[in-house]
Amino acid sequence: MKKTSVRVPVGAGLAALLLAAGAVGCSGTEDKGSDKAAADMTPAAAVAKAAENTEGLTSLRYRLTGRTPEEGRVEAEAGMQLKPTVAMSMKMKAPDRGADATAEIRLVDKALYINGGAEAAKEMDGKSWIKFDLAAMGADQELNELGGLSQADRNPAAESTFLTAADDVEKVGTETVDGVGTTHYKGTVSLAALEKSLEGEDKATRDQRGKSIEQYEKMGVDKLTMDMWIDGEDQAKQFRMRGDADKGPLDMTITFLDFDEPVKVTAPPAGETVDLAEMMQGAQEG
């Protein structure tokens, strides 16, 4: 194989951002509206209840649309298994960067795979997948501890509790999202308030949420405007976060398709995959 530098059109960096934004899943598509118990709650209590319902989540599927500071418009669909082990599959595209700006990412068996498509295959002897062996890179321990690789994957339930740190949560009204009756809440929260909200949490929670906050800090975001649409079973059906970053606006909306349903992720065929660790070792030996 010739020595090359392969550029994945959308890239692992975008994958990290897409997976950093998220909340809990929805429980179905039937329009149930908001139940009386939810209607009797204060806005802050309703948001806190939805956040509480993230505990014990084993898997979720979601659709993401929005805009990032560097990539412009982005669209993605993903499925993630959280227990008993972490696995993830995501397909994404960045329309503003052209029709070929697409990528697929899989995380399975402590290895991260990125599909660079036809352009990558031209430079890798027809192989379009790149494998990052997390164990070989020393990143598998972090995957075990945090439930996700900090730079290329995140548990999308980790940020569902962020709206609870806002002191201005208010009810916007009732809306139907993907055929599901929901109550819409919104609020604004600073990253300083998010960091303060971690006080008293256990180490794993502080580490997990802290890494999400760190990503926003690196982007230059100091506060987030957040919206949550909660269904009649006190689950978040949709979640949106907006902020002003150093390089432009951030605006992400996640719509949840289901949760706690089986998510199966398989590694790409070996014949279509280049192992980055082996490629780098070969280059060093050469």
What pLDDT does residue 16 have?
42
**Rg over CA atoms, the chain:** 19
Q: Measuring CA to CA, which residue among 172, 239, 174 is closest to residue 33?
A: 174
Asked if 44 and 138 touch (Cβ cutoff 8 Å), the reply is no
Asked if 104 and 115 touch (Cβ cutoff 8 Å), the reply is yes
What pLDDT does residue 182 have?
95
pTM over 0.75: yes
Burial 60-95 (b: 16+ CB within 10 A, else e): bbbebebbbbebeebebebbbbbeeebbbbbbbbbe
What pLDDT does residue 199 have?
85
What pLDDT does residue 70 have?
78
CATH 2.60.40.1930 fits 11-285, yes or no: no
Alpha carbon 255 to chain centroid, angstroms: 12
What pLDDT does residue 52 have?
86
pLDDT in tens, the chain (286 residues): 444 443 443 444 444 444 443 333 333 333 444 444 455 689 999 998 988 887 778 888 999 999 988 788 989 999 988 888 889 899 988 888 877 778 899 999 888 898 877 777 787 878 889 888 876 655 445 444 333 333 334 555 566 678 888 999 999 999 999 999 999 999 999 999 988 888 877 777 777 677 778 888 888 999 999 999 999 999 889 989 999 999 889 999 989 898 889 999 999 999 999 888 776 665 555 5
The CA distance from 173 to 183, in Å, is: 6
pLDDT digits (tens, 9 = 90+) for 6-49: 344 344 444 444 444 333 333 333 344 444 445 568 999 999 89
What pLDDT does residue 39 have?
56
What pLDDT does residue 10 have?
41
How do beta strands 273-275 and 102-108 pair? unpaired
Q: How does DSSP assign the chain, residue by residue?
A: --------SSHHHHHHHHHHS--PPP--SS-----HHHHHS-HHHHHHHHHHTTTT--EEEEEEEEEETTTEEEEEEEEEE-SSS-EEEEEEE-GGG-TT-EEEEEEETTEEEEE-HHHHHHHTTT--EEEEETTTTT-HHHHHHHSS-TTT---TTTTTTGGGG-S--EEEEEEEETTEEEEEEEEEEEHHHHHHHTTTS-HHHHHHHHHHHHHHHHHT--EEEEEEEEETTS-EEEEEEEEEETTEEEEEEEEEEEESS-----PPPGGGEEEHHHHHHHHHH-
What pLDDT does residue 127 have?
86
The CA distance from 147 to 120, in Å, is: 29
Q: For the chain, what are the domain ranges?
A: 11-285
